[in-house]
Structure 1
């Protein structure tokens, strides 16, 4: 009787974890898109090679991919989460430093 219940429990936990990861990744992607939308255009040129329009397209595409396909179920979902995390963890602090004038340049 215990052995028969294990596959049912496994599928429930897997579905719940997948749903939680999808929701968390969607929140991060929406945050990245909205933050990118509100940044100054000239700060992107100071920080890196990709302009604001490119980052808006990438973060907006990440939100769209997650809404259509989910986050951890396929390769496109993993790329979408990665793009948003690169923006939030790498580019956003550099943009903040460039706008505040406290950067190393």
Structure 2
């Protein structure tokens, strides 16, 4: 088996729990926290993370569904890198 295929398979199986984490995090946040940080609504982010997680689980990066898999990965990572820290900070309040 080629090394690039092994690496893609490792990334593929590691991305699914990351997507589930993003989905659960979005589900557990208050609805008013998302507009407070100038982001889309909670329902929109739930849809984005759910669709992204579904794409990560259903499509394989080694096959014909690679484009959908990458789109799902990007959607989940945008939530984790951009939205999650801001939503978490606004709910924590001021830091000293």
**TM-score (normalizing by structure 2):** 0.86
Name the CA distance, whole Å, in 2 between partners of 1:49 and 1:88. 13
Q: Work out whether 1:89 is the aligned partner of 2:81.
A: yes
2:43 maps to which of 47, 53, 60: 53
Name the CA distance, whole Å, in 1 between partners of 2:11 and 2:86. 27
2:93 maps to which of 78, 82, 101: 101
> Structure 2 stretches of 5 or more lacking a match?
none
Determine the structure 2 residue equivalent to 1:5: none
8 Å CA contact 2:39, 2:83 repeated in 1: no
8 Å CA contact 2:5, 2:62 repeated in 1: no
> Structure 1 stretches of 5 or more lacking a match?
1-8
TM superposition outliers: structure 1 runs of 4+ over 6 Å? none
CA RMSD, 1 decimal: 1.7
Greater Rg by CA? 1
**TM-score (normalizing by structure 1):** 0.79
Report how far residue 93 of structure 1 moved. Answer: 0.7
Name the CA distance, whole Å, in 2 between partners of 1:59 and 1:71. 18
